[in-house]
């Protein structure tokens, strides 16, 4: 099975979504602990009770709540920075990616009818066209052989042309 890369969930970053969720939960829990502890302290002050265990636990809860809110805010900042870097990286990758996609067909410089004709009836002229194209390519070099120097048999072509590189070579 192939994986879709153009659906709405293909651009969904699960790790970033979880970071945002953790930031919201930590900040919300910190706010709830802070407000409930402050309410407990307010009750302690108004009732003028001597229950110092409740008072100290309310102070600890206020400190814990404030610390969780601070951690949540720092988490929001870090998550936002990660989001910016991730988007910048994705934009840079999209800018350097080739313009063609796998869904488009490649461009061929021939007609379908020419392709069908060549595959249906290969002839000897096709081989001569290929050899002519190789002879006229830009990498072909002409070798000049000095008089009196024997030409190796493997370097001589069927036409009698000398293609050896035993002498100095120049491109004309």
Asked if residues 140 and 167 have their Cβ atoms less than 8 Å apart, the reply is no
Rounded Cα gap, residues 126 and 119, in angstroms: 11
Q: The pTM is what?
A: 0.49
How far is residue 165 from each of residues 27, 40, 141, 150, 160, measured CA to CA in Å? 80, 99, 9, 12, 15
Phi-psi region of 105 (alpha: psi -120 to 50; beta: other; left: phi over 0): beta
Residues whose CB falls within 8 Å of the CB of residue 137, separated by 6 or more in sequence, listed in order: none
Q: How high is the pLDDT of residue 72?
A: 96
Q: Inform me whether the pLDDT recorded for 160 exceeds 70.
A: no
Work out the average pLDDT over 59-63: 94
Q: How high is the pLDDT of residue 1?
A: 45
Work out the average pLDDT over 116-127: 57
| Count of other CB atoms within 10 angstroms of residue 79 | 19
Q: How high is the pLDDT of residue 166?
A: 57
> Around 43, how many Cα atoms within 13 Å sit in the side-chain half-sphere?
12
Per-residue DSSP letter, 7: S
Q: Inform me whether the pLDDT recorded for 75 exceeds 60.
A: yes
Confidence label for 12 from pLDDT (cuts 50, 70 and 90):
confident
Q: How high is the pLDDT of residue 147?
A: 67
Q: Inform me whether the pLDDT recorded for 163 exceeds 80.
A: no
- Domain positions in the chain are 14-96
Q: How high is the pLDDT of residue 169?
A: 60
pLDDT, tens digit, 9 for 90 and up, residues 127-143: 555 555 555 554 545 55
Residues whose CB falls within 8 Å of the CB of residue 120, separated by 6 or more in sequence, listed in order: none
């Amino acid at each position: 099975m192939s994986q879709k890369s153009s659906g709405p969930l293909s651009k969904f970053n699960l790790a970033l979504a979880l970071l945002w969720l953790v930031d919201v939960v930590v900040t919300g829990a910190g706010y709830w602990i802070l407000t409930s502890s402050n309410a407990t302290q307010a009750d302690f002050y108004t009732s003028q009770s001597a229950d110092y265990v409740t008072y100290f636990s309310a102070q600890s809860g206020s400190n814990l709540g404030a610390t969780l809110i601070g951690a949540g805010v720092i988490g929001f900042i870090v998550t936002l920075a990660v989001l910016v870097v991730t988007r910048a990286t994705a934009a840079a990758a999209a800018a350097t990616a080739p313009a063609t996609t796998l869904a488009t067909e490649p461009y061929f410089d021939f007609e379908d009818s020419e392709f069908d004709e060549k595959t249906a009836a290969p002839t000897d002229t096709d081989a001569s066209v290929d050899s002519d194209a190789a002879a006229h390519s830009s990498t072909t070099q002409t070798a000049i052989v000095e008089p009196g120097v024997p030409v190796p048999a493997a370097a001589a072509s069927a036409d009698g042309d000398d293609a050896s590189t035993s002498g100095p070579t120049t491109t004309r």
